Structure 1
Amino acid sequence: MVQIEQIFPSLTWRIRHETMYPELPFDSVKLPDDFDGIHFGLYLDHKLTGVVSLFHDGDVYQFRKLAILPSAQKAGLGLQLMAYILDFCNIQKATKLWCNARINAKEFYFKFGFHETDKTFFKDGYDFVVMEKEL
């Protein structure tokens, strides 16, 4: 059983760390504006298994740190979490949703109609591209 609900920012940190940056110090996954964001947790059989964080400036939303625990990846949970935040953004009347996507995850975002911009950068050992979707 999968359930998605809004969660407190600090609940995202363990999942972010285990999934995205296990080699970095725990505090490296804490965002300076975490307490200004909207955070969602995906629970699989009542266990927090995935997270994503949303931030907005007016009607433009950015999602950050979409993470599914490694042991639960490739089971469609990321797809469900992504669909959930797209629905949320539509309800909020967002005009655009964007993210800093790891280059190796571009194909995942293409499935939802995101397109690459010409903005790229390198951070924490990973290449990123800014991807966006008009809503």
Structure 2
Amino acid sequence: MFLNPVRHITVDAHDPHALALFWVGVTGYAMDEEPDDDEVLITPPEPNAPGLLFIRVPDDKVVKNRVHLDIQPPVGTRDEAVERFLAAGASVYEDHRTPEGLGWVTMRDPEGNEFCVERSAVERGLTAA
């Protein structure tokens, strides 16, 4: 069986460097090299996980993303992660949290790209608190 792993997830951006800095700040990914004007790659600390590649484009984002990231906080809670994203410059787009504590929050990064923040592994009972 031949597998084709995902190497990068590419995001169009007006300012690739600024958008990459936002995502470095909220994911813990690293910027591998000095960015040039047109593209910036950030990489995860885990081997074999895809990087995020930000490419300069002139056009504006006008509709909902066809592909988006789902973020599951490795520590803490979903709500704490939402607060960290807000402090870093994201905004809430749609709030799907329920009174029982289930659900997710759809957010937008500084250039309007949607992403979701899910409950953490601890909140899902997948790891010990």
Going by fraction, where is strand more abundant, 1 or 2? 1
Q: Give yes or no for TM over 0.5.
A: no
Going by fraction, where is helix more abundant, 1 or 2? 1
Look at both structures and tell me which one has the larger radius of gyration over its CA atoms. Answer: 2
TM-score of the superposition, structure 1-length normalised? 0.28
Q: Which protein, 1 or 2, shows the higher relative CO under an 8 Å CA cutoff with sep ≥ 6? A: 2
TM-score of the superposition, structure 2-length normalised? 0.29
